Amino acid sequence: MSKGRISPEFLQKVKDAVNIIDVIGEHVVLRKSGSNFTGLCPFHNERSPSFSVSEQKQLYHCYGCKKGGDLVNFVREIHGLSFAEAVEELADRASLPLPKDFERTGDEANPEVAKKRAEIREKTATAFKLNRFSAKFFREQLSLPAGAHIAEYFRKRGVGSQLSQSFYLGAAPASWDGLASFLAKAKAPLPLAAELGLIKASPKETTKGPGFFDLFRNRAMFPILDLRGKVVGFGGRGLPTPANAPDVGGESPKYLNSSESMLFFKSKIAYGLFQAQKHIREKDEVILVEGYFDVLALHAGGFENAVATCGTSLTEDHLQLFRKFASKITVLFDGDRAGITATDRAMELGLKNGLILHGASLPDGLDPDEILFEGETGESLPEGKLRMAEILGRSGPLLDSRIESARVFSLKGTEERTKAVKQVGEWLSLLKDPVGREIRMDKVCQDFSIGRSLLEQAMAAAKPARSSTPRVVAPPNPGQTSIVLGAKNGASPVPKRRAASQKPSQKETILVRGILRGGNFRSMLEESRAYLPEGLPVHELADHPSVRKVIDALIDRGISSEALIASIALGEERTEVGTDGDTEPFDPLIATLLNESQFGGDAPNTAPFTEGEFRIAVQRGLSHSWARFSQELKRKIRDAELKKDAELRERLAKEYLDVQRRIKEFGTFYDEV
């Protein structure tokens, strides 16, 4: 086994066992075209096929969105998996047992660590099997007399047999230990089932039954799947106890979800995303609704790009998950007070994460199924689909609609006007897009009849609560002075762009190695966005073209390293993935780092590096980016002087002074090595 996480031998064995045509053919209609196959790209919406698959090379490439790679990378991209998860998925497909040291890391050379990881993998596999077994039990109950009232409830809510099968809906019987007894008879590990939130140990000593009782009783059941289609948890909707059935107390709370477990993290998963992912990619839009039945109703009505969170508010992890599939996120919540509050919270979370969410509101008191289906029969309403399409068609940027609501509120009086300006200022201060912010600031000043300086004051007043505390960058090594933003360390010289023929600097090489290693290194680089000049991408940290391309692809645009490698290979060592449109050959060392990363390795003859050294490399990049930004501002000031635009020159001059202050924050001791 190599020192990497997955041996090249096992990886090749997996690739040899599965044909890329078979896997991609499950997602794309492929047609033979010469020696290759072509089809519509599953990663972006297009009318003419630009997606090509080479059976001989076992590679794919889209000439439209530039995504590409091998079999493993396709599974990663299509399902949003890690490299190891994709290999495991393909190995399972080929019925290949995983090596004992699969996904081994350096510390797993220790037998105790290796044993512990093997136990975790075995427990995880058993947990998935338990959830799948339980989902089968709930599914079977739906067709039995004990689940007849739940099947009827689904039908009245517009859920047909095909949709029920697609979402693997089920019924928890009105029984205290229906599932627990079923699992006990199958000799399933009941303590693990309790850990997964399926059952719970009975508080009373008993000689009858399994000693456990069901947590889901008399409920419509919604299995929650991950992106591979594996059951990670359940949601259950309580129903009135049917006649001649025992009262098992299953009606309250109205909705019950699995407790968080080794498989289920509700802040990181969305109901219906497994079924919706293909449609989301096609439409480049996620429709986010509030509940399980909302998802089912929209899918039944033809709006198959709908998903819902699982008993929790929208989180940053949800936004990052959705961004993998679409550029547009539309929030479709109830029009009541709670729905409006949740929508506002989602809008602000989006702004904090660089996203402008779109929004549409349901008529007050109506759920999607009440718009789309007749309440008693569950039949489609003739006007339902058109009405829902009109509701979604009226969606727009939430920020703009909320600003307009604030404008209307401001007309009530002076106090309301003050509150409205402060609120709008707070929202605009969250907006990361400098162009979008400028346009909205101009419009707000015009619509609210206020001066720009007043709006800027409102925006500035909103910032201290979030960022007035000095931000401290942890020292790279014990005893080294921390860098506090605001300290005077001198200015950096303006760096020159490196030519492709030159070697990357040692610190730039460390940046690439850290990105490929992931974990804290990648997190540090992502966090550097907050320190860059507004609007600049993270690849501006680097000077060398190859390093800029790597950061642009892996961080700014979220392309996988496999896709980048495939793009280089298909372009005969030149790549279109990158910045500035250049097609210079990749630096040999950077290319080696990319290739070795596929096996968890590093380039030969490269010295180890620490988090502190990586942090210094990031700081050096920040210093250079601010220096370049400063030079660009000086150029704009000269242009303003030539045009005799005094107002613009004054604004740019103030910005230039602020930039000089920021440059000093990064110091000059991060010099090139």
Give yes or no for residue 656 having a pLDDT over 60. yes
* Token pair for 160: 């047909």
The CATH code belonging to domain 8-109 is 3.90.580.10
Given this model, what pLDDT does residue 585 score?
Answer: 65
Identify any residues that bridge with 359 across adjacent strands, giving them in sequence order: 331, 396
Segment 189-205 shows an average pLDDT of 87
Q: Could you tell me which of 569, 550, 553, 549 has the C-alpha nearest to residue 69?
A: 569
What pLDDT, on the 0 to 100 scale, is given for residue 121?
A: 77
Instruction: Report residue 190's pLDDT band, with 50, 70 and 90 as the boundaries.
Output: very high
Higher pLDDT, 608 or 423: 423
| pLDDT value of position 241 | 84
What is the structure's pLDDT at 561? 67
Dist. CA 624–CA 541, nearest whole Å: 7
Q: What is the mean pLDDT of residues 540-561?
A: 79
Calpha distance 253→249 (Å, rounded): 9
What b/e sequence results for 363-391 when a residue is b if at least 16 CB atoms lie within 10 Å of its CB, and e otherwise? eeeebbbbbbbeeeebebbeebbebbeeb
pLDDT tens profile 129-176: 999 999 999 999 999 998 999 999 999 888 999 999 999 999 999 999
Calculate mean pLDDT across residues 273-302: 91
Dihedral, CA of residue 267, residue 270, residue 274 and residue 275, to nearest 10: 180
pLDDT of residue 288: 96
* pLDDT range class, residue 609, cuts 50, 70, 90: confident
- The CATH classification number of 506-666 equals 1.10.860
Question: In the predicted model, what is the mean pLDDT of the chain?
Answer: 80
Q: What is the CATH number of domain 268-394?
A: 3.40.1360.10
pLDDT of res. 208? 61
Tens digits of residue pLDDT in 62-77: 998 888 999 999 998 8
CA dist 525 to 26, 476, 515, 541, 628, Å?
Answer: 36, 15, 8, 9, 19
Nearest of 372, 299, 286 to residue 332 by alpha carbon = 286
Please check whether residue 193 is in contact with residue 330, taking contact to mean a CB–CB distance below 8 angstroms.
no
What crossing angle do the helices spanning 414-430 and 337-352 adopt, rounded to 10°? Answer: 40
Distance (Å, whole) CA 335 – CA 394: 14
% of the chain surpassing 90 pLDDT: 35
Confidence of residue 498 (pLDDT cuts 50, 70, 90): low
For the record, the structure tokens of 565 come out as 């490698």
pLDDT digits (tens, 9 = 90+) for 446-496: 999 999 999 999 998 887 555 433 333 333 333 332 222 233 333 344 455
Higher pLDDT, 482 or 385: 385
Give the DSSP letter string of 365-424: T--HHHHHB-TTT-PBPTTHHHHHHHHHHT-EEHHHHHHHHHHHHHTT-HHHHHHHHHHH
Q: Give tens-digit pLDDT for 258-268.
A: 988 889 988 88
Domain ranges of the chain: 8-109, 116-264, 268-394, 401-467, 506-666
Q: Look up residue 147 and give its two tokens.
A: 């689940």
Q: How far apart are the first and last CA of the chain?
A: 35
pLDDT of residue 425: 94
pLDDT confidence of 101, banded at 50, 70, 90?
low
- The Cα–Cα gap between 226 and 156 comes to 28
Write down the pLDDT at residue 489: 36
- For residue 657 the two structure tokens come to 């002074």
Strand 68-70 to 59-62 pairing: antiparallel
SS3 assignment, position 589: helix
Q: For the domain 116-264, what is the CATH superfamily, name and number?
A: DNA primase, catalytic core, N-terminal domain (3.90.980.10)
Average pLDDT in the 559-571 region?
64
Residue located via tokens 């099968």: 165
The pLDDT value given to residue 77: 85
Is 9's pLDDT higher than 60? yes
- For 309-373, the DSSP string reads ESSS---HHHHHHHHTT-SEEEEEE-SSHHHHHHHHHHHHHHHHTT---EEEEPPTT--HHHHHB
Position 497 scores a pLDDT of: 57
Q: Name the amino acid, one letter, at 241.
A: T
Grade residue 206 by pLDDT with cuts at 50, 70 and 90: low
DSSP string covering 9-45: HHHHHHHHHS-HHHHHTTTS--EEETTEEEE--SSS-
Cis-peptide, bond into residue 253, ω within 30° of zero: yes
Copy the structure tokens of residue 182: 């079923």
In tens, the pLDDT along 16-30 reads 999 999 888 877 878
pLDDT of the residue at 638: 83
CA atoms within 13 A on the CB side of 137: 23
